[in-house]
Structure 1
């Protein structure tokens, strides 16, 4: 047997009074805040495909990394869910943490450079204790990671004064799946003595099965990935392989990756000698999945530009999904 560090000996500290780089006051207001100028013909084509998909009752799956929440864009997602535009939210573990912290604390995103020096990084008692408790309890009842968090918030509303701005909680109330795809050891709640790794892995595994079901229905729909450079592309490609393996006809659909890395002619073949070859979203979202039909897009701009513009342009053409359309 190899020696192990006793992970239950780590010390935790209250998050109350912590300095947060992002607060509830930083959240952008859809329909009120000015939308930055952005012109891109491919972006406009993508908007048309999103609108057409929802008019036809086809899904729009929204995958993302944590910076969407940290950029203060939660309310755009929530409103798009309420209008019936987004049909599934998928994200990594960090996204769930920032969303959860905003809901109870009204702030998130600590100052990592100093916190990593004294060992306080991520050791926030309320975040770790409550999230790990929620996931353990939910998993014991057969729930996935996302539903476990949402039900916990519902059952402890007094702890979450900002729940109305919480993405996972709103998804749950609207009956929209919100799934979280974790890697053990990447998230701050894994540092805590309260972490139950069997429950964490098991709950995320349930979410993966829910996600695969949504991918099985993607034909004619749209898959959007915002800033997740590893988890989003990798989980998507594996889910797509599973549903095709099981005989689902998922061939013609639209994909789009949103990021700030310049890729140039992103639809062309790229040599293994070039670092672009190893940028997963290019292969796993834009190019490979649409090889049998459909079209992949790469939208290069900051989330604070693209998401408000996507919201504005979509609801101009489709204010809400008509009754009777899923």
Structure 2
């Protein structure tokens, strides 16, 4: 460390715990928690507002705000942008590198939380929990027949950290697991009863299709009308990854027509494009849809882990130290 000058770290996310604040303070960081409007997240803040909030920041712990070149050019003193999460499609990584800054993600922090959430949605949809409670609220205790997850075929699209965590949880259900993955590990697959297949096979044979792929140009609208038509009419779709993976209008049509049986959704196209808000509202109104507001990673434990990893990344960059493994997504620092 070159000096003892305090560094300013601005946090534009809610639910930032006292333990992580204390950790940052012990590392000579002054922590400033941005005041967000009630019910609003940092992704809804205007660029001018963000520029003002971050004017004195050396480090920024960010949620869903867009990290654009235009914003970064207004923040010459900002050295590190740490996402409290793992998706980074809203971060202009090329601009980060061009401008000599570092961007990181909280790799490994929310794997368990999101995997748990995916299983919860599978069970809730299969057992028709929402439909049953809706009927009970309306005064009917008629029994709706659900479906087991036990020994069913589950198709997993994407075997990164979260996808593999889902595989581990499915072992107790004795599920047959099909997977589409760019990287294939035959030994690991054999140990976990995973069979690698292509997308067409996965869609045709799965009782549950669960998405755990990143959002890229290649995966955008991966689940479209054609893909949904390949699924079993008794199958359900689970998406805890990114809204852009699914054509929500096509999903709405498939659910309304009975082309598939149900869906568990934590993410929606309307999160990044308000033009789809009407479709989102129509989806979450359906009795065979269990919906949550992109909250899969938002457990006390998961947020604590991702807060700490993001803070460790900030400190490592500011100190010129080693960033936790797998966390750097853009690095514009001069090479030695």
Q: TM-score range by the shorter chain?
A: 0.3 to 0.5
Normalized per residue, the structure richer in helix is 1
TM-score (norm 1): 0.32
Q: TM-score, normalised by structure 2?
A: 0.31
Larger Rg: 2
The structure in which a higher percent of residues are strand is 2
